[in-house]
């Protein structure tokens, strides 16, 4: 057996949505054949092999080759037509076996079977296995669940308490892992509801722009998502359910905001100031602080001359006032990024006039199912094939490992810069321009402005099913590309002298993503403020620890954002698990705290910087919000999930100083 093998395997037991039993299959052979025709075959074959215990069905010739994605997903991971036909026959036999043998229970697999299935899905990348086991939520040794318990480790007479700041996607991940280990903690949330970005963003059209099954925790593998790209409230309600199932919802202290945290070297604790609505600021002490306070949450509202004169309504996309009646009004949307892409198509039909102010056009990848519900076939598989949703989620994870990296890696001395960064990148550019040309057919002037002048992937790419072009080509819509020169009492004037009279201005102008921990005063060893230490260039080892700030952990800190591959939830879970491992090391040693060395951070930063410089977003002629004010790419993780898995596997003693 390989070193990756496992002794016992219970699928998704470290899963708050774990289900013992599935509905029996009652369909006849013909109906089953029709279902197979519509199914995603690699995920289905994996699920059938697991459910029936017959991994022999996963023949070498049926392995998905994992053809890398340029712009569109390859059906079945790029399986040949011949393999697809064979796989369909195998899947049909598998479904018939499930029906005839009345198999409805969640399977238990032996280690070898697990290896076989992972090998099939990953096309033999056994080096991915441990990470994939984590994503499947195997328990206990192979999931992200801690295998140690606070009570067993905490030295006699000692207590340890952490503060978790925020109850968004990151805070819930951290709180769940800390709770599993039994480490005492408090969790505070500035808002009055949990969900972070998903409770703040309520603008019309808000939804995921990445596929839903790639946007969930390994420890909370919800199966019955209604949409392929979940709506905003669906994601928020998922987070609410996760918090409830994990026993966290009662623990969250709402309306409590971290104002400052100051390290007390002598006592080895953080002295925090927490403001509570309508009450005096409280001082509380903690052994560790886990910052999960968000990244894309500080609205960027640009300043324009005369803005204060405007008598209409102005609001940032994240501060959407649901009481504002925009129907029948003249509406301006400033910005053409991910938020605008969702707002504009959602409102354009019901506004009197729409003007969209564009500085740079967005690149958009085709996503025909962007507004679609999950198919009936998919819903059937989820109900009747044991653990199908878990295997499908894992399959999504597998496809996301290499993602679209190959499309954004720059070639040296590439002749088509700044339009593209490589041969492949240029191909993608041409393909996407082809898509835009069809969408804007008959609107040559609009098409000219819809084509970005920077390489695909240099900024975050949107998902498109044609609704953007449909909205912009509407008769009452205008795409304004002349820069805004000033606001007047009743509208916006652009540099070409046009006066756009509007009732409502929506700032879809994004956030201040580089301003990590903005508005919070973190004072570390020797009285150093974190913002002084960073000097506008936030850095953290593995995106988590900062030298001079002992037992301070960032979950979703600098340089851990995946943009063409990987999964946000994976990064957040791993960062949380890494922080928890650090706490474990501190307790085991009966130390007060640990502090990452400057050398470790410098090595990490040099490593990610060098890789980011190879990417579209790292080219000197590209300006993107992935870069901070200093021009360093401080947002992006330029590697796959596997490298982050390895980087966060252990808290290395030679990278940390332990404070006693």
Is 360 a residue that touches ligand NAP (CB under 6 A)?
Answer: yes
Question: CB of 215: closest distance to ligand NAP in angstroms?
Answer: 8
Query: Nearer to ligand NAP by C-beta: 90 or 334?
Result: 334
- Which of the ranges 51-59, 277-285, 357-365, 580-588 carries the binding residues for ligand NAP, by CB under 6 A? 357-365
Query: Nearer to ligand NAP by C-beta: 340 or 410?
Result: 340
Q: CA-CA distance, 339 to 317, in Å (whole number)?
A: 7
Binder of ligand NAP out of 176, 207, 500, 632 (CB under 6 A): 207
Is 359 a residue that touches ligand NAP (CB under 6 A)?
Answer: yes
**Residues binding ligand NAP: what is the number (CB under 6 A)?**
23
Which of 41, 66, 2, 12 has its CA nearest to residue 640?
66
10 Å CB burial of residue 304 (0-12, 13-18, 19+) is middle
Is 209 a residue that touches ligand NAP (CB under 6 A)?
Answer: yes
Q: What residues numbered 536-595 form the site for ligand NAP, per CB under 6 A?
A: none
Is 335 a residue that touches ligand NAP (CB under 6 A)?
Answer: yes
Question: CB of 23: closest distance to ligand NAP in angstroms?
Answer: 32
Total residue length of the chain: 660
Which of 474, 521, 199 has its CA nearest to residue 350?
474
Question: CB of 395: closest distance to ligand NAP in angstroms?
Answer: 21
Question: CB of 145: closest distance to ligand NAP in angstroms?
Answer: 28
Question: CB of 468: closest distance to ligand NAP in angstroms?
Answer: 12
Binder of ligand NAP out of 45, 48, 175, 340 (CB under 6 A): 340
- Output phi, psi for 299, to 5 deg: -60, 140
Question: CB of 165: closest distance to ligand NAP in angstroms?
Answer: 20
Q: CA-CA distance, 124 to 112, in Å (whole number)?
A: 14
3-state class (DSSP) for residue 508: coil
Q: CA-CA distance, 431 to 365, in Å (whole number)?
A: 10
Query: Nearer to ligand NAP by C-beta: 262 or 494?
Result: 494
Q: CA-CA distance, 71 to 368, in Å (whole number)?
A: 12
Q: CA-CA distance, 598 to 383, in Å (whole number)?
A: 51
Query: Nearer to ligand NAP by C-beta: 339 or 397?
Result: 339
Is 200 a residue that touches ligand NAP (CB under 6 A)?
Answer: no
Q: CA-CA distance, 203 to 197, in Å (whole number)?
A: 12
Is 334 a residue that touches ligand NAP (CB under 6 A)?
Answer: yes
Calculate ∠ Cα 112-114-118, nearest 5°: 120
Query: Nearer to ligand NAP by C-beta: 94 or 452?
Result: 452
Largest CA distance in the chain: 77
Query: Nearer to ligand NAP by C-beta: 510 or 550?
Result: 510
Residues pairing with 322 in the sheet = none
Whether the Cβ atoms of residue 225 and residue 253 lie closer than 8 Å to each other: no
Question: CB of 454: closest distance to ligand NAP in angstroms?
Answer: 9
477-480 and 462-464: which strand pairing? unpaired
Torsion-angle region of 117 (φ positive above 0: left; ψ -120 to 50: alpha; else: beta): alpha
- Which of the ranges 92-100, 154-162, 329-337, 473-481 carries the binding residues for ligand NAP, by CB under 6 A? 329-337
- Output phi, psi for 171, to 5 deg: -65, -40
Question: CB of 514: closest distance to ligand NAP in angstroms?
Answer: 11
Which of 254, 286, 253, 252 has its CA nearest to residue 267?
286
Question: CB of 28: closest distance to ligand NAP in angstroms?
Answer: 41
Question: CB of 276: closest distance to ligand NAP in angstroms?
Answer: 29
Q: CA-CA distance, 428 to 363, in Å (whole number)?
A: 10
Q: CA-CA distance, 22 to 390, in Å (whole number)?
A: 13
Q: CA-CA distance, 356 to 481, in Å (whole number)?
A: 8
Binder of ligand NAP out of 163, 165, 296, 555 (CB under 6 A): 296
3-state class (DSSP) for residue 31: helix
Q: What residues numbered 66-125 form the site for ligand NAP, per CB under 6 A?
A: none
Question: CB of 478: closest distance to ligand NAP in angstroms?
Answer: 15
Is 627 a residue that touches ligand NAP (CB under 6 A)?
Answer: no
- Which of the ranges 47-55, 263-271, 352-360, 417-425 carries the binding residues for ligand NAP, by CB under 6 A? 352-360
- Which of the ranges 46-54, 253-261, 337-345, 526-534 carries the binding residues for ligand NAP, by CB under 6 A? 337-345
Binder of ligand NAP out of 208, 520, 554, 616 (CB under 6 A): 208
Q: What residues numbered 482-521 form the site for ligand NAP, per CB under 6 A?
A: 508-511
Query: Nearer to ligand NAP by C-beta: 111 or 346?
Result: 346
Site mask, ligand NAP, residues 230-269, x = CB under 6 A? ----------------------------------------
Is 336 a residue that touches ligand NAP (CB under 6 A)?
Answer: yes
Query: Nearer to ligand NAP by C-beta: 336 or 648?
Result: 336
- Which of the ranges 86-94, 281-289, 338-346, 395-403 carries the binding residues for ligand NAP, by CB under 6 A? 338-346
Contacts 24+ apart (CB under 8 A), 296-301: 296/197, 296/510, 296/511, 296/513, 297/196, 297/197, 297/200, 297/511, 298/511, 298/512, 298/515, 298/518, 298/519, 299/507, 299/509, 299/511, 299/512, 300/507, 300/509, 300/510, 300/511, 300/512, 301/507, 301/509
Query: Nearer to ligand NAP by C-beta: 549 or 625?
Result: 625
Cα dihedral value 558, 564, 565, 569, nearest 10? 50
Is 626 a residue that touches ligand NAP (CB under 6 A)?
Answer: no
Is 302 a residue that touches ligand NAP (CB under 6 A)?
Answer: yes
Q: CA-CA distance, 469 to 338, in Å (whole number)?
A: 14
Residue whose pair of structure tokens reads 């209604």 in the numeric block = 226
- Residue nearest to ligand NAP according to CB distances in the complex: 337
Question: CB of 452: closest distance to ligand NAP in angstroms?
Answer: 9
Residues of this chain that bind ligand NAP (CB under 6 A): 207-209, 296, 302, 317, 334-340, 342, 357, 359-360, 460, 508-511, 625
């Amino acid at each position: 057996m390989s070193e990756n093998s496992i002794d016992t395997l219970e699928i998704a037991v470290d899963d708050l949505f774990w289900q013992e039993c599935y509905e029996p299959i009652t369909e006849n052979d013909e109906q089953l054949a029709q279902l197979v025709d519509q199914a995603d075959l690699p995920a289905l074959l994996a699920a059938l092999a697991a459910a029936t215990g017959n991994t022999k069905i996963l023949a070498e010739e049926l392995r998905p080759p994992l053809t890398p994605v340029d712009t569109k997903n390859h059906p079945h991971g790029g399986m040949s037509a011949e393999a697809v036909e064979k796989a369909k026959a195998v899947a049909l036999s598998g479904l018939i076996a499930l029906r005839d043998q009345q198999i409805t229970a969640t399977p238990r697999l032996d280690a070898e079977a697990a290896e076989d299935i992972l090998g099939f899905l990953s096309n033999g990348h056994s080096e991915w296995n441990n990470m994939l086991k984590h994503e499947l939520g195997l328990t206990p040794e192979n999931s992200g669940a801690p295998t140690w318990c606070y009570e067993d480790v905490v030295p006699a007479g000692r207590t340890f308490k952490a503060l978790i700041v925020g109850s968004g996607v990151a805070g819930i991940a951290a709180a769940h892992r800390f709770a599993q280990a039994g480490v005492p903690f408090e969790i505070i949330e500035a808002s009055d509801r949990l969900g972070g970005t998903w409770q703040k963003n309520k603008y019309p059209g808000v939804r995921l722009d990445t596929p839903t099954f790639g946007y969930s925790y390994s420890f909370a593998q919800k199966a019955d998502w209604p949409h392929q790209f979940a709506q905003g409230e669906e994601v928020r309600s998922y987070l609410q359910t996760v918090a409830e199932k994990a026993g966290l919802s009662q623990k969250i202290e709402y309306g409590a905001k971290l104002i400052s945290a100051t390290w007390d070297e002598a006592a080895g604790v953080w002295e925090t100031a927490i403001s509570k609505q309508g009450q005096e600021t409280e001082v509380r002490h903690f052994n560790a602080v886990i910052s999960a306070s968000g990244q894309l949450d500080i609205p960027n509202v640009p300043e324009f001359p005369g803005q204060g004169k405007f008598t209409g309504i102005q609001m940032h996309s994240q501060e959407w006032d649901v009481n504002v009646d925009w129907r029948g009004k003249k509406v301006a949307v400033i910005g053409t990024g991910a938020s605008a892409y969702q707002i504009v198509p959602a409102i354009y039909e019901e506004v009197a006039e729409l003007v969209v102010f564009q500085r740079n056009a967005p690149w958009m990848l085709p996503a025909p199912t962007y507004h679609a519900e999950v198919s009936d076939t998919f819903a059937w598989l989820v109900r009747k094939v044991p653990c199908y949703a878990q295997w499908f989620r894992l399959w999504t994870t597998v496809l996301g490992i290499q993602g679209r990296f190959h499309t954004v890696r720059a070639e040296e001395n590439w002749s088509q810069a700044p339009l593209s960064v490589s041969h492949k990148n240029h191909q993608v550019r041409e393909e996407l321009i082809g898509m835009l040309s069809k969408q804007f057919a008959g609107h040559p002037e609009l098409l000219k402005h819809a084509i970005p002048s920077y390489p695909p992937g240099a900024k975050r790419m949107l998902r498109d099913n044609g609704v953007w072009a449909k909205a912009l080509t509407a008769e009452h819509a205008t795409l304004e590309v002349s820069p805004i020169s000033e606001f007047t009492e009743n509208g916006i004037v652009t540099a070409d002298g046009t006066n756009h009279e509007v009732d409502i201005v929506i700032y879809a102008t994004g956030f201040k993503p580089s301003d990590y921990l903005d508005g919070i005063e973190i004072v570390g060893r020797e009285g150093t403020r974190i913002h002084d230490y960073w000097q506008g260039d936030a850095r953290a080892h593995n995106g988590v620890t900062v030298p001079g700030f002992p037992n301070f952990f960032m979950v979703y800190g600098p340089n851990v954002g995946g943009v063409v591959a990987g999964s946000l939830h994976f990064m957040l879970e791993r960062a949380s698990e890494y922080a928890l491992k650090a706490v474990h090391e501190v307790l085991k040693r009966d130390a007060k705290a640990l502090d990452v060395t400057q050398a470790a951070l410098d090595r990490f930063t040099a490593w990610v910087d060098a890789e980011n410089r190879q990417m579209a977003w790292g080219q000197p002629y590209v300006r993107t919000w992935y870069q901070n004010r200093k021009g360093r790419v401080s947002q992006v993780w330029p590697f796959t999930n596997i490298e982050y898995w390895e980087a966060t596997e252990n808290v290395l003693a030679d990278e940390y100083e332990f404070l006693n």
